[in-house]
Structure 1
Amino acid sequence: MNLPNKLTISRIILVPVFMLLIIPIPDWIVDSSFLSFAHSQLEDINYFIKNYGNYIAAMLFFVAASTDGLDGYIARKRKQVTNFGKFLDPIADKLLVTAALIALVERNDLSSWVAIIIIGREFIITGLRLVAASEGIVIAASKWGKIKTVTQIIAILAALVRGYLVEALHGIPIDKFLMLIAVVTTIYSAYDYIIKNAHVINQDK
């Protein structure tokens, strides 16, 4: 297995680790009589997650997001582009962002509407790409698609370290503003893709 594919797989492996660091163990498990012998240990784990997990998860998310594009660059540079890499790379990207959004919704740190808009956009564009591919058309990543990705990563990082940011900025909810920007760019990037590739959907055989 070449280096680009290893980097892609490493992003996928980081997803469950990220989830474990950001979502506390449910109370019904902590308070379960079946696990009463480990009650104090489970509480300690939850204390760690609630107080430090966010920051470690934010670092992991940043590292994983930073490799987005690096694997593709190395693959092209070393001429190691494979069908396996083409298949796995977009999955790794979407898994990472989707996992973060769902985790933030579960913790009540993010509106489910935001998650639906961002995830829904990915379904729409993926569907468009599949239709285009069936016609032998390749839809390349657009400028707005790249801007969308950057704004989403920044907004998710801000949401993960929200407590620190709000305190540092004297109560200004900067994470909310950044997430709003991410939502707007997400919607516009979807509009941009659809308008520029409307002929793919409209053409009849």
Structure 2
Amino acid sequence: MRPVGGGANVNVADQVTLSRIILTPVVVALWLAHAPKWHWIGLVVFIIAGMTDFVDGRLARHASKTTHFGAYMDPLADKILVLGSGLALIASNRLSVWIVLILLLREFAITGLRSILPAGTTMGASAVAKWKTTGQLFALGASAVLTGMVPIVFWVVALTLTIWSGIEYFYRYWPRA
């Protein structure tokens, strides 16, 4: 572990999480390129970035090295990857604005819910929320390189999971607020 500003320790799992944030601008740049070959290369980088979400948690739990830093940065890294990639796809006319707005509204709603919970209350990721992230990653990847019904089907699933997980969090945590 290496000290980072403020004396925080960043372990291997945390470094994997940070790599997801670092890879996001690479994905965005490749998906904004005008040649389809760059979109496919961007998809490979995106898949690697997406896989870090699975790897970092697995590393942290396996080594019993979960950190406050990782607990905070992991969901933030997901949001940066998903929303950054979504904005790149909007800019390149491969994704509708309303889809990213739904993703943003859900994130703002959950952040708002977290802000009114009593101090010390943590909202762990539910199984549906984990599937939501996976669904969003598949839908974004499909939108980057495919046209037609395939991305649409992925987005129907991803948006259903996005809304479902948001409702689930409010159902689970609202009475505590």
TM tier, smaller? 0.7 to 0.9
Report the counterpart of residue 10 of structure 1 in structure 2: 19
Amino acid at match of 1:175: P
Which segments of structure 1 move beyond 6 Å, counting only runs of 4 or more? none
1:190 paired residue number: 166
Match of 1:116 among 70, 81, 101: 101
Secondary structure of the corresponding residue to residue 152 of structure 2: helix
TM norm structure 2:
0.87
C-alpha separation between the residues in 1 aligned to 2:165 and 2:27?
Answer: 27
Secondary structure at 2:125 match in 1 = coil
Q: Supply the RMSD in Å over aligned alpha carbons.
A: 1.6
Structure 1: runs of 5+ lacking an equivalent: 25-48, 167-171
1:174 maps to what in 2? 150
2:44 & 2:58 partners in 1: Cα distance? Answer: 22
CA deviation after TM superposition for structure 1 residue 3, in Å:
0.9
Q: 1:198 to 1:72 in 2, by over 3 A?
A: same
Aligned-pair identity (%): 35
Q: Which residue of 1 aligns with 2:54?
A: 69
Deviation of 1:142 after TM superposition, in Å, equals: 1.4
Hey, what does 1:29 align to over in structure 2?
Answer: none
Please name the residue that 2:8 is paired with. Answer: none
Per-residue deviation, 1:151: 1.1
**Among 87, 101, 122, which residue is 2:72 paired with?**
87
**What amino acid does structure 2 have at the position aligned with 1:22?**
W
- Structure exhibiting the larger radius of gyration computed from Cα positions: 1
Residue 22 of structure 1: aligned partner: 31
TM-score (norm 1): 0.76
**Could you tell me how far apart the structure 2 residues matched to 1:81 and 1:143 are?**
18
Shift of 1:186: 0.9
CA distance in 1, matches of 2:175, 2:165: 17
Q: Is the 8 A contact 2:136 2:155 kept in 1?
A: yes
C-alpha deviation, 1:84, in angstroms: 2.2
1:17-53 per-residue CA deviation (whole Å, 9 max, x = no partner) reads: 11111113xxxxxxxxxxxxxxxxxxxxxxxx42211
Matched AA of 2:145: V
Q: Partner amino acid for 1:95?
A: I
Which residue identity does 1:197 align to in structure 2? Y
Deviation at 1:95, TM superposition (A): 0.3
Report the counterpart of residue 161 of structure 1 in structure 2.
145
